[in-house]
Structure 1
Amino acid sequence: MATAFSEISPTQLMRLIGTPDAPILIDVLRDDDFTLDPRLIPSARKHSLDQLLQLLPELRGQRTVIICQKGKKLSHGAAALLRNHGIAAEVLAGGNHAWRDAGLPLVPVANLPQPHLGGLWVTRHRPKIDRIACPWLIRRFVDPKAQFLFVPPAEVSAVAENFNATPFDIENTFWTHRGPLCSFDVMIEEFCLATPALTRLAAVIRAADTNRLDLSPQAAGLLALSVGLSRQYKNDSDQLEAALPLYDALYRWARDGHDEVHDWPAVTG
């Protein structure tokens, strides 16, 4: 798709989503149009046009992409207004329709815990693999502002109830293992994020998390690094922040480098 000035194509945007360099995505679709297809581009948030300028403090210094149904008047007007206030705002060329027609993932709003933006999640303390991988997935593809609480296993349910947090990776909850699938798999399925890269990454995480190292050559390395991080950090939140770049790198491997090999000595011409 050819893009005009201040536009970004669906393919270009998809290359950014899931990476630390992803822009902030603001969907300004009118409510009556949104109800016809209540899904969001991964990591996007819905925001009303008449309250757009309330976002200025958060958007300053951040690359922003505005999304509407077809990438026309609503998004171009909103992006121009933000640029008047010094925000680096672009428009998704073709809007949600172009994204949908390209077969790119859309997250059903009905499957999102509420509140969607800045939501609280809670799980068992001392995480290793799934309880780090799931927060990475949520932060990169669902809710960039999500917060995570790590508490003793016996307290997860009570903390979830008292703090309006969504429990995950613990028995008898929705966001947890299902048969051979780990919690990361379940989130990919429920959030409709089954891209080739995330599916490939999920296989590594599942193998490491369920101690089936024979299922993936990369699983043993992920397990070793995860155990090392858990020994290095006593504070679970610090461990999560330190581990996010590890999963960023694994995602780029799964997306762009899974067929690359390394050998020694180097072959010279």
Structure 2
Amino acid sequence: MLWVTRPRLHLDRVASPWLVDRFVDADAKFDFVDEGQDVPADAIALTIPGAELGPRDADGSTFRKILRKYSITDPVLVKMADCVEAGMAFSLHEDLPPLSEDLLQHSATLAYFSEGMAVRYPDDHENLRQSFPFYDALYISMWANYGEGAPGFPEHPRKRIDQLQEARDWTAFFGNK
């Protein structure tokens, strides 16, 4: 399926395509339409004003709207939605939501990462391609703390990494992407 969003990607407009690609539509293709440009009839609009999966508003980020629309209840993805929303607030110098210190750190990291990727990869298709592995890694590390069935992990990073690698077949989990 074709999914479209606005160009000049930033946080929610990268996280949401990642969510779609990894958990909604394994055959997703992404393209971009300028504001005021018509969305192709065969496409699903993301973060476009007026769309069902529109931009952040009182109902939350596009990321959270996708979770609701597709009844995705994975607790890790719910925490990631919290981080996406807090990261957007951080970027816009808005009041941050009440989150734990670790989630606030993830949120600030997402904001900085997103800005850096937009500078490093101004081509939106390349930005998505290069950013998706970061979101895979974020999911994996957050799964260690919030995932269902995640084992308790030792403090030493190398041991945590080894146990995370053994805990799941991550390549298969992410559809060999």
TM-score range normalised by the length of the shorter chain: 0.7 to 0.9
Q: Secondary structure at the match of 2:13?
A: helix
Q: Secondary structure at the match of 1:214?
A: coil
Q: Is the 8 A contact 1:178 1:186 kept in 2?
A: no
For 2:85 and 2:106, the matched residues in 1 are separated by 11
- 1:171 is aligned to 49
For 1:165 and 1:256, the matched residues in 2 are separated by 35
- 2:142 is aligned to 254
Tell me which of the two structures has the higher relative contact order, counting C-alpha pairs closer than 8 angstroms and 6 or more residues apart: 2
Identity %: 29
CA 1:261–1:160: 2 relative to 1, 3 Å: farther
For 1:218 and 1:261, the matched residues in 2 are separated by 20
- 1:153 is aligned to 35
Bigger fraction of residues in strand = 1
The amino acid across from 2:47 in the alignment is D
Count matched residues.
141
Which consecutive unaligned segments of at least 5 residues does structure 1 have?
1-118, 264-269
Is 1:189 equivalent to 2:68 in the alignment? yes
For 2:58 and 2:117, the matched residues in 1 are separated by 27
Q: Is the 8 A contact 2:5 2:32 kept in 1?
A: yes
Bigger fraction of residues in helix = 2
Which consecutive unaligned segments of at least 5 residues does structure 2 have?
98-103, 147-151, 157-177
Q: Deviations over 1:111-139 (max 9, x none)?
A: xxxxxxxx001110011111111111111
Which of these two proteins has the greater Rg computed from alpha carbons?
1
Q: Is the 8 A contact 1:121 1:149 kept in 2?
A: yes
1:201 to 80, 84, 108: 80
